[in-house]
A and B are shown apart, each in its own frame.
Chain A
Amino acid sequence: MLVPSTSSAQPLVCRDCDALLEMPELEEGEKAICPRCVGVLFTRGRNSLHRTAAFAMASAILFVVANSFPFLTMRAGFRESQMLLWQSATGLAAEGYPYLAAAVSVLIVGAPALLIGGLLYVVMPLLWERRLPGAIPLCRWVLHARRWNMMEVFLLGVLVSLLKLGKLATLMVGTSFWALVALIICLTAALASIHPRELWGRIEEARR
């Protein structure tokens, strides 16, 4: 718990209720809770930067794998067809729904790519207390991309589709499917390891 601000020291303001507080000194693994609205102000994770960098790197590799191998294979009669991850969006475009296709590709390819690439570009140099040109606007985009990355919802959709089509045809999941499962875990871990406030603090301290 924190005390309301009294001095003119570095202020900390709760985003959700606008309480004016004093910046606390947190140890690794501690979190600051707003006394007014009981929301989490920020946390300081253990080895947060290294964890984020490691998970972001793993996510990048898994993202490439998830988009390069067959995602689903369908067998109906003697015919067999394979679908890549991004083909779930292009199929909609071919059926005359370009806007829906655009939305789906942003949610499952565009936003994750921006999120992973941006995270790597911003966080890796921070390990050496460096900041690359454009890191600040990019970090802003990364934080926005978080909410538009819906890979975990897509995964639930895959499971429902398997059941839905299972009665009409034989469906098999491919390499990409497992890469996607691992990717969701790694990306969630990468984002959970660092709090935006800590990330911005480190960017500010880093040399250009």
Chain B
Amino acid sequence: MTELAAESAAARGLAVCHVCGLASPVSARRCPRCRDSLHLRNRESLQRTWAFTLASLLLYFPANLLPILRVESFAGPQSSTIMGGVIQFWQEEDYPVAIIIFVASVMIPVLKIISIVWLCLAASSGWQPRGMTRLYRVTEFVGRWSMVDVFVVAILVGVVQLGSTISIHPGAGAISFAAVVVLTMFAAMSFDPRLIWDAAAVRAQPAPQH
């Protein structure tokens, strides 16, 4: 199937408002409909995306190595990391829960960081724009589910707090983990998928058809 090379709006000086989607001349500076500032591409998109991604990668280590939860019950004090929680559910034969936590808390953050790095590389090389745009949409959508472990900590701490025979305290891993999730969300928000198409157009150019 041959593709019609749809012209990019930026080539005609048209910027699409990232809030309301209205296309207007970038020279207007502000969207005439919703008053948000207009840019042809997200500002310093790749720099910001790299910065957020690196920060989340760094925090990924304390998030997984430090305990997210400390339980003091009649069985004695017990700290658990994210992976410890997965293993515990697995040993108790709650396989579906173990798998859900493993996917949401361990796999998704890693895959999200890898795919953002991959997207940044594609934005420089223009490789597979259609597939990469799809990857971008998936990446933006799934990251939120990683927050589940932070909510588990919040709920357990909240419900047990009001005095009983057991006590539960949050650990430093929990805040690192929440930061990883929020930072990867910022990374995905800063990324501009149109850069992939720009790079692809540049790549396609030096081959004139005869």
Contacts and interface: CB of A to CB of B under 8 A. Distances in A.
A88 B170 CA distance: 12
Given A20-B7, A39-B137, A200-B34, A154 B16 contact: no
Interface size bracket, B side = 35 or more
B148 A160 contact: yes
Interface size bracket, A side = 35 or more
A15 B161 contact: no
A38 interface: yes
B193 interface: yes
Contacts of A74: 159-160, 164
Nearest to A108: B151
B147 A153 contact: yes
Contacts, number: 216
Residue of A76, A94, A137 with most chain B CB atoms under a 10 A cut-off: A76
A104 interface: yes
B23 A163 contact: no
B133 to A, nearest CB: 5
Contacts of B161: 81, 87, 91, 94-95
B162 A160 contact: no
Contact of B136 (A16, A83, A157, A204): A16
B33 interface: yes
A95 B20 contact: no
A89 B179 CA distance: 16
Interface of B: 3-4, 6-12, 14, 16, 18-23, 33-36, 71, 73, 85, 89, 92, 94, 97, 100-101, 104, 129-130, 133-134, 136-137, 144-145, 147-166, 169-170, 174-175, 178, 182, 185, 189, 193-194, 196-198
Interface of A: 3-5, 11-21, 35-39, 42, 72, 74, 76-77, 79, 81-83, 87-92, 94-95, 97, 99-101, 103-104, 107-108, 136-137, 139-140, 143, 147, 150, 153-154, 156-158, 160-161, 163-165, 167-169, 171, 196-197, 200, 203-204
